[in-house]
Each structure stands twice: as C-alpha cells, then as structure tokens.
C-alpha cells in the first residue's frame, strides 16, 4: 500500500520526509506525540534514518528522513495505516507557528550561507598553495 509520503510492505511502514521541510526533531516530536497509542496497537517504532554525504557539498541539498515502523499483529495494513495518520497528526500538532517557522528558516539560511562562505574560503586557500 502506498501513501503520499510512505509505503507499507511486508508488515513494515516507511514514512518519508525531506529535511527541506521537516527536521528530524519535528518528525520525532510527531511520533512521540502518539507513541503510546502506536505501541498499544502492536506497532513498533524502529527508528529514523537520514542520508549522510561524504565530502564537501557545493550547495545545500535536502536529505531524506525516513521513519520505520513494524507491525507485530495480524491486521498489519490497517494498523500501519492508522500509524501513518497518527504520526502526521502528531507532526501537525507539534509544528511551530508561522513566526517561529520563519525565524528558524532564516537562521538555517544564515547557517547554509556561512557554510558556503567557509567552503569558498577553503577553495581559495587551496588554490593559493
């Protein structure tokens, strides 16, 4: 079964997010909001993964954030479908308001700009050697 941002296969749910939209902290907060209910349904939260790039990056590239769940019960598809909806509900309930979101994006933009300046300085220093 496929969802807009995830899929259910062989008793496992993978929910996919992008770091351009949601931080790992936002996703974990959304899961934590309803984790007790999810566990009571017989669904295990297995963790979150992100992609790690090796070496310097020329520009900011969003990375995938993937949350993994496994069902221990018989009616897995139904329970994992409910889990998908509960996690999104938790993300919406924990998402910052517009002003906080804009401030966070601005600070992140400053961070990315600083990284670009650092890379440029390193590149120029290597050219001089």
Q: What is the mean pLDDT of residues 105-128?
A: 83
Query: In CATH, what is the architecture of 2-95?
Result: 2-Layer Sandwich (3.30)
Q: What is the DSSP string of 13-60?
A: EEEEEETTT--HHHHHHHHHHHHHHHHHTTEEEEEEEE----S--SS-
Domain boundaries, the chain: 2-95, 96-129
Instruction: Determine how many CB atoms are found less than 10 A away from the CB of residue 117.
Output: 10
pLDDT digit string (tens) for 50-101? 877 777 666 667 888 999 999 988 889 999 999 999 999 999 998 878 888 7
pTM given for the model: 0.75
What is the arithmetic mean of pLDDT over 23-35? 92
Q: How large a percentage of the chain has pLDDT more than 90?
A: 46
Res 15 pLDDT > 90: yes
């Amino acid at each position: 079964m496929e969802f807009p941002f995830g899929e259910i296969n062989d008793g496992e749910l993978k929910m996919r997010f992008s770091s351009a939209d949601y931080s790992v902290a936002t996703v974990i907060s959304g899961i934590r909001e309803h984790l007790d209910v999810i566990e009571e349904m017989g669904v295990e939260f297995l963790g979150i993964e992100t992609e790690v790039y090796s070496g310097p990056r020329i520009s900011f590239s969003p990375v995938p954030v993937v949350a993994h769940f496994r069902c221990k019960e018989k009616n897995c598809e139904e329970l994992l479908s409910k889990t998908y909806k509960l996690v999104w509900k938790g993300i919406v309930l924990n998402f910052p308001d517009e002003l906080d979101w804009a401030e966070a994006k601005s600070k992140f933009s400053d961070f990315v700009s600083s990284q670009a300046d650092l890379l440029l300085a390193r590149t120029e220093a290597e050219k001089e050697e």
